[in-house]
Amino acid sequence: MQENMQRHELRRKVEDEEPLVNFETAKGKQMQVDWIEFPKDGLSAFVATMGYSRASYVEYVTDEKVDTLINCHMNAFSYFGGVPQEGLYDNMKTVIIKRNAYGSGKHKFNEQFRDFAKHCGMDLKVCKPYRPQTKGKVERFNHYLRYSFHNVFKVRLSMMGYKMNKENANAEVMDWLDYTANARIHQTLLQKPFDLLAEEQLQLLPLPKPYKGIHPLKATARSITQDHRVKPKQRVHIPQRDLQSYDEFIPAAIAYLLTYSLITGGASWQ
């Protein structure tokens, strides 16, 4: 109870001291990412919104594991036509492990996801604690998704005697994105997200090659103790041979000795 009150007070203090400032990002600069959960349906939606164009991508999933997060990113990059310079996240455990672990602003990220971001050429940025407004563009789209698509589609399915699942939700949400969400006149920009995305694509990084995970050598972590341990002297490894493997050399060796013996008058043979 006391811990919850302290969190509430800290949240209010942050909101009072740091008023929200709206800002626009450059083309291709940032993609804001979030999960929106629908526990009654056993689903979560991965949501990615481009900072400049407000073009958004949505994918329904049944878990929020790091492998799922990576796959959703790859699909989002394909949908947007490239990779932004940075991704902005909140406190996802699949993204950030510990804030300021290595000093102010130097966070400890999930190693697999950090490696994936590096593979794509994308920097990782995180919101300040209790400041979800920092990624307000994707937060506003979450609200739009919930009430303009998810709830409406769920009711429509229910009237036909069906339930929402990952397959039918993803099939329907792609049409909604293409013909409604990204094709509408955005209230803030007064332009269509798809039209602005066409401009933004020119500044995006190329689509990455398929990500195959962390290489075993890169995944091997050495402790400080191991790094400073006195290394033993290296030994030259001489492979053991079966004695039979040397039999093929015997005829050649005898022929050489006989020839040399004849030249030297038999002294060498003796």
Reduce the secondary structure of the chain to three states and give it as a string.
CHHHHHHHHHHHHHHHHCCCCCCCCCCCCEEEEEEEEEHHHCEEEEEEEECCCCCEEEEEECCCCHHHHHHHHHHHHHHHCCECCEEEECCCCCCEEECCECECCCCEECHHHHHHHHHHCCEEEECCCCCHHHHHHHHHHHHHHHHHHHHHHHHHHHHCCCCCCHHHHHHHHHHHHHHHHCCCCCCCCCCCHHHHHHHHHHHCECCCCCCCCCCHHHHCCCCHHHHCCCCCCCCCCCCCCCHHHHHHHHHHHHHHHHHHHHHCCCCCCC
- Looking at per-residue pLDDT, the higher value among 42 and 1 belongs to 42
Asked whether residue 53 carries a pLDDT value surpassing 80, the answer given is: yes
Encode pLDDT of 205-231 as tens digits: 999 999 999 877 665 544 333 334 444
pLDDT of 262 over the 90 cut: no
Domain ranges for the chain: 7-219
* Alpha carbon separation from 174 to 8, 9, 58, 114, 144 (Å, rounded): 38, 41, 8, 28, 15
Question: Residue 263: what pLDDT?
Answer: 55
- List the one residue out of 47, 225, 214, 222 whose CA is nearest residue 142: 47
pLDDT, residue 232, reads 43
The arithmetic mean of pLDDT across residues 147-155, rounded, is 97
Task: Mean pLDDT check: name the lowest of 43-52, 130-139, 163-172, 203-212.
Answer: 130-139
Instruction: Please give the average per-residue pLDDT across 99-118, as a whole number.
Output: 90
What pLDDT digit, counting tens, does each position of 75-94 carry?
Answer: 999 999 999 999 999 989 99
Least confident of 16-20, 113-117, 127-131, 157-161: 16-20
pTM: 0.72
CATH superfamily of the domain spanning 7-219: Ribonuclease H-like superfamily/Ribonuclease H (3.30.420.10)
